[in-house]
Amino acid sequence: MQRILLFILTLSLSTVMYAQNADSSWFVNNYVKKEIYISMRDGVKLFTSFYIPKDKTELHPFLMMRTPYSCWPYGEDKFLPVWHGYQMAYLKENYILVIQDVRGRYMSEGLFEDVRPFNKNKKTNKDIDEASDTYDAIDWMVKNIENNNGNVGVFGTSYPGFYSTEAALSGHPALKAVSPQAPVTDWFIGDDFHHKGVFFMMDGFSFYPTFGKPHPLPTKDYGNGFETDIKDNYKFFLQAGPVKNLAAMIGDSIKFWHEMYKHPNYDSWWKARNARVGLFDVKPAMLWVGGLFDAEDCWGAWNSYKACESQSPKTNSKIVMGPWYHGQWSREGSYLGNVRFESNTSEYFQKNIEVPFFNYYLKNKGSVNDIAEANIFFTGANKWRTLTQWPPQNVQLKVLYIKPGNKLSFDSYSMSKSAEAKLSSTYTSDPSHPVPYTEDIHEERTREYMTDDQRFASRRPDVLSFQLDELKEDLTLAGPVIADLAVTISTTDADFVVKLIDVFPDTFTYPSTFKNNGSNYPMGGYQMLVRGEIMRGKFRNSFEKPEPFVPNKPAQVKFELPDVAHTFKKGHRIMIQIQSTWFPLADRNPQKFIDIYKANENDFQTAVIHILYDQENQSKFILPVIK
């Protein structure tokens, strides 16, 4: 039996390798690569790689990605290994593939600026932004690359997603279709560096010591970043102490890191770097793409789409959200961590949405009739839904209340004055012993934590868990969840983490036909994280003007969790967890009203936190339930 399995495996691998080798040979034999410096309006030259089909029987469209991550591999005899991915479909359609190092990165000239603000009032050739650089690049391409059909599309994931958003603002008439995917959108409110004003130090510190290195001259190699012998990230960041110590470790040359420390509140510096500010009168067709479980940029896709809808209502704008980690739509999409989705959701997206989208707008081929306004995969039910809007029309906002006994209920309650106590649940938040974001030991932040089992957190005394009775029928959520907490704290500041959790039945198992990660993790009683978010308490009334808490005085902390598309199946339970640390995902709040970037070790203190649910102060959660 083992020999038969080995033979089948060997045959399968041989078939895959043969197909990849055949595709790589086809690419090299049917395309020519050119590396060209394109001049921008201010004279700065941007390094651009072109993969151009040799076919002369028809005119070809451009598909472009602008990136701060390099045009690798460099050299006109070295080809991008796209035959490993679905992008091979574009090559077989004879697209002209374009990759450009953005201004000041790798082999391009100029000065790099992180999330460079959009300038809608450009008056001279010195007034540049990423939109104008895109315009100038497109203008040169359509005028100078032979055999093109005059149509350009732009796409990219993460930071290239930001450049895709900016491309859509360029106004060039040849730009017909754009797909920002997990686009960096707002680094203070919801993406990468901050969530609701809380510094996501682990992601930032793993990324920026390399990415943020200054390079005044073009280079092909940025080298290594910060390295440590401590491979347990919880231990490393706890030992590092206050976040000002990270600034010392990262060094003085990393400009953006130190600029960020100078702007602890949502001031004009941050607002200028909000990519939504330019989403007015957008001309190209837009396909916003994101992952329900994207640890980096879950917020950006949802909210850029919504901004485009409200600020540019005439734009042909659509959204796709699948059950994916960051960029998983270009990889295997049948599972994430222990949670399985029944089908390869990424393959569905590639074949039925992205490739048809660009083929239609750039080649006038096929149809986009099957691409709905909102194409959303609902986890739990494991089904795609095509909707005419997002959130859907048939959503009813239902209030979920905390009740005594660690319970949740959709029914409000009242009691006589004589019977009423000041009902609350209490925990002590200790920043010297923060709640970990995941159970295991890791060096790097995991992508699977977005669906991880939360039973480890349920067992901690500084995590409150509230649970709804077993569902008698399916309950589907579609849209943002609102946490509306009534609290008292013993100090002047604290963070609040709210986690929406799907508690599986004790007898639950997946069908053996569902593809998985190869582990035999016990899924009975699994507490699946559906959505979690953190809010810095001092920003509860304004991100621009933080306010201290008055110790032991009731206060409202109300905030929005990123959108949810999930079905809680019959027999499951809804759980809400509340805690005040989420480490080392988020930095530690000293629990003292202070500029946390300047905090010292002796500023950190414990806080006694009460979550109130009496008649006068009712903590609750507003759920978008599909009727």
Give the chain's mean pLDDT: 94
pLDDT tens digit sequence for 365-383:
999 999 999 999 999 999 9
- What CATH superfamily classification does 27-157+164-177 receive? Alpha/Beta hydrolase fold, catalytic domain (3.40.50.1820)
The per-residue pLDDT for range 208-227, each reduced to its tens digit, is 999 998 888 888 888 787 88
pLDDT of residue 415: 55
Confidence category of residue 6, pLDDT binned at 50, 70, 90 = very low
Please name the residue that has the structure tokens 């300038």: 119
pLDDT at 92: 96
Q: What is the mean pLDDT of residues 262-269?
A: 98
What's the CA gap between 618 and 331, in Å, rounded? 44
pLDDT at 18: 47
Query: Average of pLDDT values for 102-126?
Result: 95
pLDDT of residue 219: 86
The pair of structure tokens assigned to 476 is 């589907």
Listed range (333-342, 351-360, 468-477, 514-523) with the worst mean pLDDT:
514-523
DSSP reduced 3-state for 467: strand
Residues of the chain with CATH 3.40.50.1820: 27-157+164-177
Long-range contacts of 384-391 (CB under 8 A, 24+ apart): 384/345, 384/348, 385/565, 390/305, 390/306, 390/319, 390/478, 390/479, 390/563, 391/478, 391/479, 391/480, 391/563, 391/624
Does domain 395-626 fall under CATH 2.60.120.260? My reply is yes
Per-residue pLDDT for 589 more than 50? Answer: yes
- Residue 115, pLDDT > 60, answer yes
Q: How confident is the model at residue 7 (pLDDT cuts 50, 70, 90)?
A: very low
Name the segment(s) of the chain with CATH classification 2.60.120.260.
395-626
Residue 333, pLDDT > 90, answer yes
What is the mean pLDDT of the segment spanning 444-455?
97
Q: At what angle do helices 159-168 and 130-144 cross, to 10 degrees?
A: 70
Backbone φ, ψ for residue 624 (5° rounding): -85, 95
Q: What is the pLDDT of residue 19?
A: 52
Q: What is the pLDDT of residues 53-81, one digit of tens each?
A: 999 999 999 999 999 999 999 999 999 99
Spell out the CATH class of 195-268: mainly alpha
Q: For 204-213, 432-441, 453-462, which range has the lowest pLDDT when averaged over its residues?
A: 204-213
Task: Give the DSSP per-residue string, 210-253.
Answer: HHT---SS--S--------S---HHHHHHHH-SHHHHHHHH-TT
Cα–Cα distance, 61 to 355 (Å, whole number): 13
**3-class secondary-structure state, position 605:** coil
Residues of the chain with pLDDT > 70, as a percent, come to 95
Q: What is the per-residue pLDDT for 9?
A: 37
Phi then psi for residue 8, to 5 deg, are -65, -45
Torsion angle of C-alpha atoms 255, 261, 265, 270, degrees rounded to 10: 10
Question: What stretch(es) of the chain map to CATH 1.10.3020?
Answer: 195-268
Judge residue 277's burial from the number of C-beta atoms within 10 Å of its C-beta, 0-12 exposed, 13-18 middle, 19 or more buried. Answer: middle
Q: Does the structure show a pLDDT above 60 at 27?
A: yes
Q: What pLDDT shows up at residue 280? A: 97
Residue 84 has pLDDT above 90, yes or no: no
Q: Is a pLDDT exceeding 50 seen at residue 418?
A: no
Percent of the chain with pLDDT over 90: 89
Binned at pLDDT 50, 70 and 90, residue 474 comes out as very high
